[in-house]
Structure 1
């Protein structure tokens, strides 16, 4: 039993590294953008284009749109075996970029790779997690996503005197991490739930399954709910991820190294909140109120940064509040709830659709965010930021699903009236009647 548990954790960690690489890519871009802008003579529109087509937005949206359906058709392992090869090619372009075109190609390729990889990763982790520890295992992906920026900003602070060479080294470190992760993943097994689904001789085609995402009322409502939670929050987090140095400049903190160290604090606290908060209590306490606390703290943190007194008090308050909030907030719950609210036959496709739409939302705003900061300032942008965060808090708190403590099969029976794939494994003692029993959220 201990060996089986250890094997599950190994698989979870190896697959979760997609999130380290994704977040690390965003931070590598964020900390180097001003340098690329100076060296290549880029204007604000070009900066917005690079940001929008990267792992932060449209690039990963394309990857998610491709990777989700492919993961449902050919398996989770198919994606996480090959996506990192594309990622490594993209980082090579970024490492050796000598002009805007090479840089753009590198950003697009890495974006496509992480979009495909993250959708498969969230799905695989949830499907392979022990039923009573699903939040704990899904939280590993969030933890990896938090550690990536923490290390990225720490490297940026250390290598800042080296200028653009330091930024190239940060991309090189991502290449190394991607190679090691790809090597480890080669020995992982396929998701057992996906294998059972595909063992069913009556299984439906992948594209028909995708169509059901948009024709079933239950699926459409779930998509809208998750887009409200993750899409709205992610639109803010996406700007913070790639433009946070510019936001700090707008609030008066202009020293690059101080900006990077402040971000190390943000992401260090995000990692701590993920480990000691979401991973430990996401399967124990009522999820609705855990989500509400995290989302509310994030709103307060941004309000203080934007409208509070300029200076270190507001900056540190933001770092602590937003850091803890991100560890308990929308992204971790999105990864968990998306896996729970959709059937195995199109679970990864749902991840792909949602991730794609969320990244498109980030991309649209990224195109104009630098100009908005220049023209209306942080106070003007702040109205939009707080509005999006408040909407995400209300949607997630009011309509939080009562899936805690149930197996994926119990949830599927409860939502659809039956298991959609007869070959899917069923927990001992599970039945349609048993799955529909009232479950207290908590």
Structure 2
């Protein structure tokens, strides 16, 4: 497999990872403007929940992931990341110039579909193109972009807060500009080499047969359940925090909008730092199980202090520091990594699309009711649900963390399935990767032999 230069790999990684900046930026743009839209259009709590649920934070992204994953496997990773941002820019125009509830809803749905497709393709492409010994470092760039987006979004919200709804429209406009620049840069990127080689192999099965295998092989089903348990449960909490965090702060006594936004700048600044100095530097060097456990445990402590600790700035700062660092080391970064490693190339994007869809549906269902729950029961009423979901995600990740560190995607595929699924069986036997009975041969994970495929 011919390698490209390190600089080219990083350029491609950064360009594709910007899908995460745009996704997270969209969620924060909604979070910081939702109360203003509510006042402007006279919306009730149910309408606010509907906007949130159908946006990039939930059902909109779920639809995009469900469509984008199979298309990504059928037509290539570049097909998605070339065209998804065109849809995104179209959607942001509706949000920028929204004049009623209907136009705002259309904008939120379109941007949600675009980011759902784009994030799925981004995680897949980055993992496939990353150097085998530095896959966590490259996948971490997507997590870094995901954390920088909210940090800048909340900073802009704090600076533009005196402008009211006009300031919110400007935040959406900045996302349009970022999307256009990213789309322009991506035009020069190449297709994933692993996907290209799979398509060139005469033994490659069709996309729909691959999807059927994804749901019928036991190893795939257990991987789906594991990753939904890790990411889905955590993101059900993170999704509410992303879109409703200002309301959560209000429930704890912090009502000043600018103070809320600046506190969120601290949260996401620490998430960025933890991603860069923690996950990206050590995800390929230390035990991933314990790194994940540390991040997940810190998140539980942070929420427990915010919910049940003494009201005031002490609890708020403990939460901001703990949740910020936790988000940089925790479930989403590891999900992006493990989701690419645990599935074969033929349905890697489809698997991510399916899981992302399920996860965002989980967020969406709770988003429909979360504002009402918070309004009627307060932060203590929803606190047990939040902490319970985070504890479950911690246990699932710690108990069933896969042993995939520093292995090529081909080595992992042979270990999991007994062979490379789209490789010629006779060639595999001749190369010593599998025995004639189809099981993995001793020493079949020799990195040189596998990489030459």
The whole-number CA distance in structure 2 between the counterparts of 1:423 and 1:30 is 51
Kept in 1: contact 2:203–2:424 (CA 8 A):
no
User: 1:92-103, aligned counterparts within 5 Å?
Assistant: 92-103=93-104
Larger mean Cα displacement after TM superposition, 399-408 or 196-205 = 196-205
The whole-number CA distance in structure 1 between the counterparts of 2:63 and 2:178 is 23
1:182 aligned partner: 183
User: 1:24-423, aligned counterparts within 5 Å?
Assistant: 24-422=25-423
Kindly tell me: are residues 261 and 435 of structure 1, through their superposed partners in 2, closer, same or farther at Cα, counting changes over 3 Å?
farther
The whole-number CA distance in structure 2 between the counterparts of 1:306 and 1:353 is 33
Kept in 2: contact 1:198–1:423 (CA 8 A):
no
Kept in 2: contact 1:273–1:327 (CA 8 A):
yes
Kept in 2: contact 1:64–1:352 (CA 8 A):
yes
1:440 aligned partner: none
TM-score (norm. length: structure 2):
0.94
Deviation per CA, 1:104-142, whole angstroms, max 9, x where unpaired? 000000000000000000000000000000000000000
Deviation per CA, 1:231-273, whole angstroms, max 9, x where unpaired? 0000000000000000000000000000000000000000000
Kept in 1: contact 2:223–2:342 (CA 8 A):
yes
Kindly tell me: are residues 381 and 435 of structure 1, through their superposed partners in 2, closer, same or farther at Cα, counting changes over 3 Å?
farther
1:434 aligned partner: 443
Kept in 2: contact 1:196–1:423 (CA 8 A):
no
Q: Secondary structure at the match of 2:5?
A: helix
Deviation per CA, 1:6-45, whole angstroms, max 9, x where unpaired? 0000000000000000000000000000000000000000
Kept in 2: contact 1:265–1:319 (CA 8 A):
yes
- How many angstroms does 1:434 deviate by? 2.4
The whole-number CA distance in structure 2 between the counterparts of 1:370 and 1:430 is 58
Gaps of 5+ in 2: 434-439, 447-453
Kindly tell me: are residues 211 and 13 of structure 1, through their superposed partners in 2, closer, same or farther at Cα, counting changes over 3 Å?
same
Q: Secondary structure at the match of 2:17?
A: helix
2:21 aligned partner: 20
- How many angstroms does 1:423 deviate by? 7.3
The whole-number CA distance in structure 2 between the counterparts of 1:56 and 1:107 is 9
- How many angstroms does 1:405 deviate by? 1.1
The whole-number CA distance in structure 2 between the counterparts of 1:145 and 1:423 is 39
The whole-number CA distance in structure 1 between the counterparts of 2:247 and 2:348 is 37
The whole-number CA distance in structure 1 between the counterparts of 2:194 and 2:4 is 20
The whole-number CA distance in structure 1 between the counterparts of 2:344 and 2:265 is 38
The whole-number CA distance in structure 2 between the counterparts of 1:177 and 1:373 is 34
TM-score (norm. length: structure 1):
0.97
2:451 aligned partner: none
Deviation per CA, 1:154-190, whole angstroms, max 9, x where unpaired? 0000000000000000000000000000000000000
Moved over 4 A (4+): 423-426
The whole-number CA distance in structure 2 between the counterparts of 1:204 and 1:408 is 19
Deviation per CA, 1:196-229, whole angstroms, max 9, x where unpaired? 0000112111011111111110000000000000
Kindly tell me: are residues 68 and 430 of structure 1, through their superposed partners in 2, closer, same or farther at Cα, counting changes over 3 Å?
farther
The whole-number CA distance in structure 2 between the counterparts of 1:63 and 1:407 is 29
Q: Secondary structure at the match of 1:299?
A: helix
The size of the alignment, in residue pairs, is 435
The whole-number CA distance in structure 1 between the counterparts of 2:353 and 2:123 is 10
The whole-number CA distance in structure 2 between the counterparts of 1:212 and 1:384 is 35
Kept in 1: contact 2:68–2:80 (CA 8 A):
yes
- How many angstroms does 1:303 deviate by? 0.1
Q: Secondary structure at the match of 2:443?
A: helix
Kindly tell me: are residues 94 and 423 of structure 1, through their superposed partners in 2, closer, same or farther at Cα, counting changes over 3 Å?
farther
